[in-house]
A and B are shown apart, each in its own frame.
Chain A
Amino acid sequence: MSAQIVEERELLEIEDLEIAAKGIVDGFLSGLNKSTHIGQNAEFISHRDYVHGDNIRHINWNLWARTDQLFVKEFETDFNHCVYISVDSSNSMNCANAFISKWQFACKAAAALSYLAIKRNDAPALIIENDSKQSFIEPAISYEQFYRILGELSAAEPGGAKPINSLIQKLPYNCRNRGIVFVISDFFDNEDETIRNAANLVSMGHEVIFVQIFDPWEAELTEEGFYRFHDLETFSTRSSDVSAIVKQYRDVFNKWHEGFTQKCSNKGIDLISLKTTDSLADVLSDYLDKRGT
């Protein structure tokens, strides 16, 4: 299945995470206009004098024949990154005013990241936590790992009102190896606490990327109509004539979002904000940027 003939939106609508993730990643990679071939992980950098104890396999015999001296080839070794993907599974992720819910969008993002990581010889890991369930899949580089992650995502169901802070707070215990930490959530909790906890990860040497997912109505509401809005976590309701408040609502939301972005930036955290109608390409490309590929 080619991403050229299948729109990403259609891929997002596919329930099967594997097909969706592979489709998204393949489409993304073909869009980069680069060879998808993955070659040697080692690249020659320079020569140095042979010292005792060096592996004789790394001696450049051709250079010895010309110069009669022993030189050893030096290579840049390819580092295997750990990609920690933590997904918020609180009840607010169930919000679905577009064609898919925030949870489904988050799962597809996590699956696509896992698949891309494995294709890049990185080791994806998955952390999901809510009121009823806590699961952690250790990082590993294999296609089985990809399927483990898919299985875990498929089995998980969002519920409860556990704040994302508590998940981020525990991440340093799970992310023992330095790597890239993706936190996929709506971040509608106490943002100061969230960022403070995430800053701990940054200080540990992790690259922290917040993937913030909104339902389109959360960001912009609708244009008009009389609505009774239910908060999925607190179950509170508010009724209003939307046309009377929509502009003010957007102002308040944008102000909050700008503040959150600024705070993340100050702490060295990347923030990618996406609506459930947006493309996942930003997430994937940010991953590749962080990986230095």
Chain B
Amino acid sequence: MSFVSPGMLIFISAVGIPILIHLMKNQKFINANLGTNRFLIEVLRTRNRWRKIENLLLFLLRVALILLLVALFMRPFIQQPKKVTGSMVVMLFDTSGSEYDDFYKLKQNYRKRLREISKQLPKEAEIKLFSFNNKITPIEKADIMTLKCTGEYTDYKSVLNETADFIKIAKKESASVILFSDLQANGISDLEEFSFPADIPVIIEPSSKLLTQNLTISKVRNLTPVLSSKRGQNLYNIELEAKLNVYGTEQPETVQIGYNIDGKYNTQKLRVENGRCIIDAKISEETLDKRYISGFLHIESDDDLKVDNYHQFILPVEKTGSILIHNGQVGIDRFEDSSYFVEKSLNSFKRKNHQKWQTRTTTKLPDEIEADLLILCQPQNFSHIELSAMDEYLNSGGKVIIFAGEEFTIADEEFKTHLPFKVEKSTVNTPTTVKDWDKKYVGLKLFDGTASGDLSSLFVFDTLKVEEKEGVRKLVQLSNGSTLITETAVGKGSLLFIAQSCEKTGAQFVTQRMFIPLLHELVNYKLSNDKPKLKVYQSDLIELDKVRLVEKPQFNEKELTYTVTVKNFNELESDIERLSPNEFYTALGLSKTDLKSQKNDMELMIKPKDTLRPNEIWIWVIAALALVWIIENMVADRRLI
């Protein structure tokens, strides 16, 4: 059982109130004389025994009431165990050195869980077993109890990659991995981040000694690039929140922490607050590429506390995306390629806001475009196959950005007819700057209105004129009245059209300092998860399997939101878990027609924990108080009889 609000535990000190009342009540006696106590003794012989029990019960009841109230406000819930599904289940048993103690019990647990999981799975599902430390070793079911603790260190990345390869070779449609481990010496406190490799669902089942190390890196925050380099690499500032668990001695106020990241040893004297301290560190781009950090942490305090820990932890990657850049105008050298500046701009700062973009450049569109975003730089001549591939890509929800300058007018006519609007040479070809932009455009929040950091400082000329028709949304308008950037929905996908060339010549659009942030914002806008949010209204407790749609989602063009009324859902009170669009629609009971009618993917949905809501808590509180009142009155009445 876990608690939603464990902080409420502090109110457990209120238990002292009934204890105090109980003790104080027992002390207030007035002295009196009697000629004999014989009658009193006779009465108390029977009465006092029950009276003591009664007092004790009353006392326990009062204490229990306080505990119940505290427990209710802590909102307990039972975490439903994740269901293991798939045609193949790979079970990995940790045999590293940290599991040495009680390994026999652990093996019994492994065997028990194997039986339970086998029962859950369909008959045709295949179970593969491996022991692991820094590599995986296949074992048979019968071998579980003969497993031996190897004493080796653990390398989860290597283990999971090997497992991924195994699953790939096995060619199973769906597979899941269950990892039995104590997670020692890795510093991962947030298990959800432990989804490596990302396309394989990994369920971690803690062994008995989960997270018992004395120092863990619990959070990585404020990942910001530093515009300096080390051996030609950009450095990034990170804040590592270290959680210090000290047993058997008092928590030190300050600690001297030494850490070894990127092969360089640094020390910092840090203040410990609530068992946590923040390490300011710098990591290289190369380390960042690995998406995890290995480090050696050494803690020393004035209180003779010495802790050494080896840590690995995965950086939280917020957004990922693969970008295919089509080079429509190949120059004599690389520098003259139309895609050169676009690719360079994306790669130079590709991890701004901690984004992970993988870029590929091509001069010919593949038959089947597999990318999260397609950028066409100076599109000119496409084959029929390329055009149909692009059509298919767009219709199936693909996102395309087109940089098209004056040269676009000489592009082949067939391509032009594929665009949902007409494009022609602008009649106003004087150099101009940006006049206005759609403030609802998510990316424009970057621009702060200052002359140096404003989109209006962007200088363009020789733009193209985009036909103004329904469905073509202006994002950025120029001072001369023409439009620089428009967005149009095509099929399920969308097209962002930039009426300016991305080559070096011309207005030198791509070499201006505002181009890079603009490009980043555009790419971020297209790849971002900040999609129109669903406004969801709630009336009562939700059960996912019983959720039903009250009315169909309505798209609000002004607010860019979908409004869905779902019975029994409270966004504030629920623990939201994102579902895929399909899962969302399935949960809402929408048909495929409904799904098609929507303009964008929606991904917000809930999976409530089995927990008590505040409105339920009050029912229990009132019930508990009523119970105490009744019992107290019963006792009081009996006294008077």
Bound-state CA distance A239–B40 (Å) is 9
Does A64 interact with chain B (Cβ within 8 Å)? no
Bound-state CA distance A241–B58 (Å) is 15
B-facing residues in A209-260 (Cβ within 8 Å): 214-215, 217-218, 225-234, 236-241, 243-245, 247-249, 252-253, 256
Contacts of B227 in A (CB 8 A): none
Does B36 interact with chain A (Cβ within 8 Å)? yes
Does A186 interact with chain B (Cβ within 8 Å)? yes
Does B639 interact with chain A (Cβ within 8 Å)? yes
Nearest Cβ in chain B — how far from A2, in angstroms?
34
Per-position 1/0 for B47-78, Cβ under 8 A of A: 11001000000000000000000000000000
Closest-by-CB residue of B relative to A102 is B35
Contacts of B37 in A (CB 8 A): 229-231, 234, 236-238
**B47, A232: Cβ atoms under 8 Å?**
no
Q: A95-B33, A226-B28, A227-B30 are in contact. Are A249 and B51 (CB under 8 A)?
A: no
Does B641 interact with chain A (Cβ within 8 Å)? yes
**B35, A93: Cβ atoms under 8 Å?**
yes
Does B43 interact with chain A (Cβ within 8 Å)? yes
Nearest Cβ in chain A — how far from B40, in angstroms?
5
Bound-state CA distance A226–B28 (Å) is 7
Does B32 interact with chain A (Cβ within 8 Å)? yes
**B35, A230: Cβ atoms under 8 Å?**
no
**A247, B41: Cβ atoms under 8 Å?**
no
**B32, A188: Cβ atoms under 8 Å?**
no
Nearest Cβ in chain A — how far from B465, in angstroms?
96
Closest-by-CB residue of A relative to B55 is A241
Does B593 interact with chain A (Cβ within 8 Å)? no
Q: Among A215, A241, A245, A248, point to the contact of B34 (Cβ < 8 A).
A: A215
Does A97 interact with chain B (Cβ within 8 Å)? yes
Q: A243-B639, A244-B639 are in contact. Are A252 and B35 (CB under 8 A)?
A: no
**A96, B33: Cβ atoms under 8 Å?**
yes
Q: Among A92, A228, A233, A245, point to the contact of B32 (Cβ < 8 A).
A: A228
Q: A244-B639, A249-B39 are in contact. Are A230 and B34 (CB under 8 A)?
A: yes
Does B44 interact with chain A (Cβ within 8 Å)? yes
Closest-by-CB residue of B relative to A254 is B39
Does A94 interact with chain B (Cβ within 8 Å)? yes
Nearest Cβ in chain A — how far from B640, in angstroms?
8
**A245, B36: Cβ atoms under 8 Å?**
no
Bound-state CA distance A233–B34 (Å) is 9
Q: Among B28, B31, B36, point to the contact of A231 (Cβ < 8 A).
A: B36
Nearest Cβ in chain B — how far from A46, in angstroms?
54
Bound-state CA distance A41–B37 (Å) is 49
**A248, B43: Cβ atoms under 8 Å?**
yes
Bound-state CA distance A101–B227 (Å) is 100
Q: Among B35, B42, B51, B640, point to the contact of A241 (Cβ < 8 A).
A: B51
Contacts of B38 in A (CB 8 A): 188
Closest-by-CB residue of A relative to B54 is A244
Bound-state CA distance A253–B37 (Å) is 11
**B39, A226: Cβ atoms under 8 Å?**
no
**A245, B42: Cβ atoms under 8 Å?**
no
Does B247 interact with chain A (Cβ within 8 Å)? no
Closest-by-CB residue of A relative to B31 is A228
**A92, B40: Cβ atoms under 8 Å?**
no
Contacts of A233 in B (CB 8 A): 35-36
**B30, A225: Cβ atoms under 8 Å?**
yes
Count contacts on A: residues with CB < 8 A to the other chain. Answer: 38
Count contacts on B: residues with CB < 8 A to the other chain. Answer: 23
Q: A233-B35, A236-B37, A247-B641 are in contact. Are A228 and B43 (CB under 8 A)?
A: no
Per-position 1/0 for B604-641, Cβ under 8 A of A: 00000000000000000000000000000000000111
A-facing residues in B567-619 (Cβ within 8 Å): none
Q: A228-B29, A245-B47, A248-B47 are in contact. Are A95 and B41 (CB under 8 A)?
A: no
Bound-state CA distance A93–B35 (Å) is 7
**A232, B42: Cβ atoms under 8 Å?**
no
Bound-state CA distance A248–B641 (Å) is 9
Bound-state CA distance A236–B639 (Å) is 25
Bound-state CA distance A163–B41 (Å) is 19
Q: Among A214, A240, A249, point to the contact of B48 (Cβ < 8 A).
A: A240
Q: Among A96, A230, A253, point to the contact of B39 (Cβ < 8 A).
A: A253
B-facing residues in A72-127 (Cβ within 8 Å): 92-97, 102
Closest-by-CB residue of B relative to A185 is B35
Q: A243-B639, A249-B39 are in contact. Are A229 and B47 (CB under 8 A)?
A: no
Contacts of A248 in B (CB 8 A): 43, 47
Contacts of A247 in B (CB 8 A): 641
**A218, B43: Cβ atoms under 8 Å?**
no
Contacts of B40 in A (CB 8 A): 229, 238, 240, 245, 249
Q: Among B33, B51, B639, point to the contact of A230 (Cβ < 8 A).
A: B33
**A228, B51: Cβ atoms under 8 Å?**
no
Contacts of A229 in B (CB 8 A): 32-34, 37, 40
Contacts of A218 in B (CB 8 A): 34-36, 39
Nearest Cβ in chain A — how far from B633, in angstroms?
15
Closest-by-CB residue of A relative to B51 is A244
Bound-state CA distance A43–B621 (Å) is 90
Bound-state CA distance A189–B362 (Å) is 117
Bound-state CA distance A228–B35 (Å) is 14
Query: Which of B38, B39, B640 is packed against the most chain A CB atoms within 10 Å?
Result: B39
**B51, A232: Cβ atoms under 8 Å?**
no
**A238, B44: Cβ atoms under 8 Å?**
yes
Contacts of B32 in A (CB 8 A): 97, 217, 227-230
Closest-by-CB residue of B relative to A230 is B33
Bound-state CA distance A218–B36 (Å) is 8
Contacts of B48 in A (CB 8 A): 240
Bound-state CA distance A93–B36 (Å) is 10
Contacts of A239 in B (CB 8 A): 29
Nearest Cβ in chain B — how far from A254, in angstroms?
10
**A188, B44: Cβ atoms under 8 Å?**
no
**A217, B639: Cβ atoms under 8 Å?**
no
Bound-state CA distance A245–B45 (Å) is 11
Nearest Cβ in chain B — how far from A81, in angstroms?
31
Bound-state CA distance A244–B47 (Å) is 9
Bound-state CA distance A102–B35 (Å) is 9
**A94, B33: Cβ atoms under 8 Å?**
yes
Contacts of B640 in A (CB 8 A): 243
Q: Among B30, B31, B39, point to the contact of A252 (Cβ < 8 A).
A: B39
A-B pairs, top 6 by smallest CB distance, nearest first, are: A92-B35, A231-B37, A228-B29, A188-B36, A95-B35, A244-B639
22 contacts between A and B (CB under 8 A): A93-B35, A95-B34, A97-B33, A215-B34, A217-B34, A218-B35, A226-B28, A226-B30, A228-B29, A228-B31, A230-B32, A231-B36, A234-B36, A234-B37, A238-B37, A241-B51, A244-B47, A244-B51, A245-B40, A245-B43, A245-B44, A253-B39
Residues of chain A touching chain B, judged by Cβ–Cβ distance below 8 Å, are 92-97, 102, 186, 188, 214-215, 217-218, 225-234, 236-241, 243-245, 247-249, 252-253, 256
Known: A97-B32, A245-B44. 9 other contacts (CB 8 A): A95-B34, A96-B33, A228-B31, A228-B32, A229-B32, A234-B36, A249-B40, A249-B43, A252-B42
